Amino acid sequence: MIRVGVNGYGTIGKRVADAVEAQPDMELVGIAKTRPNYEADAALRRGYSLYAAIADRAGDFTDAGIEIAGTLPDMLEEIDVVVDCCPSGVGAENRETYAEHDVRAVFQGGEGASVADASFNSRANFEASRDAEFVRVVSCNTTGLSRVIAPLQEQYGIEKVRATLVRRGGDPAQTGRGPINDVLPDPVTIPSHHGPDVNTVLPDVAVDTLGLTVPTTQMHTHSLNVTLESEPDTEEVRALLADQDRTFLIPEIAAIDGAGKLKEFARDIGRPRGDVWENCIWAESINVTGRDLYLFQNVHQEADVVPENVDAIRSMCTDLSPAESIARTNETLGIGLESRFDTDEGDWKPVTADD
Ligand code: NAD
């Protein structure tokens, strides 16, 4: 059993904790939190042991009537791996504490790549983190890009990836984030930092990205143009992308026209918190013209990195193969959305631009 603790119990931390709890080869020892808020209440209801992330604030928990199992150092004494899900930059500050306690650590994409021995994506470079002490799971956008780029690179070779990322303004619980009514080039400098981040897990791919931020909390939308080194036909690429472990090709007949219906679908089929772990690629959008592939995909920023964290733990602590780990994670969490429709999408039909 791999003994795991989660430090930082926000958007990502709570989901990683649940995912770890579901693994047959992992034990969730506890979670560390800074304050006794509604998320602490929810963690207790789930039966998780709570630790005070900041020792000075331990009294806040007891004052609120919440029993804690100790403070962060106590949790670190009990575990093999900590998954740091603190806000960007806090993970790097925590690194030394983890090293002092001789605990391996998985960091998140908000940290710089130098925080860890390796950056991680299950599909792109699982083996690079084998036995590592410190690993960083790349961001939600980078995870979404890497899952598509890796198979395309393996199958066809890639001359150049150009990706436009339409980024959600904040997560549903992040009431202080925006924009409220605007579209921001973000970052305004081009190319954005996402391309170099993809190169932390796929170093040989030429990839330029640019970003915009819009007023939604639902998902990110990616518009991709990949110039391949060969000329597959559209159906072949569709089949390749459909065949990946963590992709969902949205069939035309499903009438899912955006993030709202995608999230509604996830809730309708009983996904916890309406989470969508898979890259959702519109089947109709996949189009190859010469060597140029185009597609639209959505990634759920709160969810897509969660299975990657589970696999990262296995890459560090076990000798399980990437395929075995991915299969186990997918099976335990219920990942692998496939349409129940028997679809034949037919030819791509261009429509007239009218706005
Ligand atoms: P969040 O703000 O939702 O959660 C962070 C939690 O850590 C909060 O509960 C906060 O109170 C707590 N915290 C603050 N300081 C702490 C400390 N010193 N010790 C312990 N806990 C502390 O943030 P998040 O969205 O879950 O992001 C966490 C990391 O995951 C960041 O690196 C982020 O870039 C990355 N990430 C976020 C998303 C996303 O869309 N939310 C997606 C992928 C990766």
Q: pTM for this one? A: 0.97
**Sole residue written with tokens 């202080």:** 176
User: Is 140-304 a CATH 3.20.20.70 domain?
Assistant: no
H/E segment holding residue 52: strand 50-52
The closest alpha carbon to 295, from 285, 310, 306, belongs to 285
DSSP assignment of 68-105: --EEHHHHHHH-SEEEE-PSTTHHHHHHHHHHHTT-EE
In the chain, what percentage of residues exceed pLDDT 90? Answer: 94
Indicate the average pLDDT of the chain. 96
pLDDT tens by residue, 189-215: 999 999 999 999 999 999 999 999 999
DSSP assignment of 138-180: PPHHHHHHHHHHHHHHHHH-EEEEEEEEEEESS-TT-TT---S
CA of 266 to the centre of ligand 1 (A): 23
Q: Is it true that 2-138+306-333 and 140-304 share their CATH fold?
A: no
Residue 345 has pLDDT above 60, yes or no: no
pLDDT category at 17 given cuts 50, 70, 90 is very high
In this structure, of 146-160, 195-209, 341-355, the range with the lowest mean pLDDT score is 341-355
Mutate to test the pocket of ligand 1, among 86, 171, 302 (most ligand atoms within 8 A of CB): 86
Residue 268 Cα distances to 26, 106, 230, 243, 263, angstroms: 29, 32, 40, 24, 9
Residue 280 has pLDDT above 90, yes or no: yes
CA of 278 to the centre of ligand 1 (A): 21
Domain segments of the chain: what residues? 2-138+306-333, 140-304
Lookup: tokens for 255: 């009438």
Instruction: Give the model's pLDDT for residue 27.
Output: 98
Pocket of ligand 1 (CB under 6 A): 7-13, 32, 34, 53, 85-88, 90, 108-111, 139-140, 171, 301-302, 305
Fold type of domain 2-138+306-333? Rossmann fold (3.40.50)
Lookup: tokens for 74: 């106590």
User: Cα–Cα distance between 195 and 1 in angstroms, integer?
Assistant: 36
Listed as own residue / partner, the contacts of 92-100 with beta carbons closer than 8 Å and 24 or more positions apart are 94/7, 95/134, 97/72, 97/73, 98/134, 99/133
CA of 12 to the centre of ligand 1 (A): 6
Instruction: Give the model's pLDDT for residue 76.
Output: 98
Residue 347 has pLDDT above 90, yes or no: no
Q: Provide the pairing of β-strand 287-289 with 292-299.
A: antiparallel
Tell me if residue 85 is catalytic: no
CA of 287 to the centre of ligand 1 (A): 37
Q: Whose CA is nearest to atom 32 of ligand 1?
A: 110
User: Cα–Cα distance between 20 and 322 in angstroms, integer?
Assistant: 17
pLDDT category at 346 given cuts 50, 70, 90 is low
pLDDT category at 340 given cuts 50, 70, 90 is confident
pLDDT tens by residue, 234-256: 999 999 999 999 999 999 999 99
Residue 83 has pLDDT above 90, yes or no: yes
pLDDT tens by residue, 157-199: 999 999 999 999 999 999 999 999 999 999 999 999 999 999 9
When pLDDT is averaged across residues 55-61 and rounded to a whole number, the result is: 97
